Amino acid sequence: MDREHYTKRSHKFPIEELTREAKAALKERGVTLQDIAKIVYQLQSAYVEELELETCMYHVTKVLEKREVVHAILTGIAIDKMVEEDRFPEPINTIIKHDEGLFGIDEILPLSIINLYGSIGLTNFGYLDKEKIGIIRELDRTKDNTVNTFLDDLIAAVAAAAASRLAHSV
């Protein structure tokens, strides 16, 4: 994104641009909105009669229209990528790269997403952290040099937030 272009005009990035950036960043890391919607479906299909994947997609899309959500996604993915390229100082580069137990910041950052959508979001986030379903499990199993320490928790948070949004809409 051309930062100067926007700061000259308004000192702020328009939310539409930010959302586009977040979607592009997710896609670049191998995650589609469909992947996230499938998790939402798994979380909510037992509670919402005749739930359709399309409805889940809608709520995922709405979650991604919030600035706080985009900020968390772009921050987390930037950290993952920089750690992947060994551009963080030690010892924190190695700690994040190996997602060491008790690092925990990867679970704290996405709380800024969860906090927007009430307690159903929080309980679902905890559930997904333990159960790791769908794309979250796939990311967890990635064994090459890719670092997804923050990404998996961000996905869980977006899915949990969308599930909460959906639950409150019916």
Give the interface with Mg ion as residue ranges (CB under 5 A): 106, 149, 152-153
Q: Which is nearer to Mg ion, 146 or 169 (CB)?
A: 146
Please, what is the minimum distance in Å from the beta carbon of residue 128 to Mg ion? 11
Q: Where are the alpha helices (DSSP H) in the chain?
A: 3-9, 15-28, 33-44, 53-63, 67-84, 92-97, 105-108, 111-114, 118-131, 135-141, 151-169
Minimum CB distance to Mg ion smaller for 56 or for 155 = 155
CB of 43 to Mg ion, least distance (A): 19
Contact between 128 and 120 under an 8 Å Cβ cutoff? The reply is no
Residue 132 or 165 with smaller CB distance to Mg ion: 132
Q: Nearer Cβ to Mg ion, position 55 or 76?
A: 76
CA dihedral 41, 27, 168, 69 (to 10 degrees): 150
The amino acid sitting at 120 is I
CB of 146 to Mg ion, least distance (A): 13
For Mg ion, give the closer residue by CB, 124 or 149: 149
Query: How far is Cα 57 from Cα 116, in angstroms, rounded to an integer?
Result: 18
Task: Find the shortest distance in angstroms from Cβ 156 to Mg ion.
Answer: 9
CA distances to 18, 89, 108, 137, 143 from 30, in Å: 19, 26, 22, 13, 14
Tell the smallest beta-carbon distance from residue 170 to Mg ion (Å): 30
- The burial of 51, by beta-carbon neighbours within 10 Å (0-12 exposed, 13-18 middle, 19 or more buried), is given as middle
Residue nearest Mg ion, Cβ-based: 106
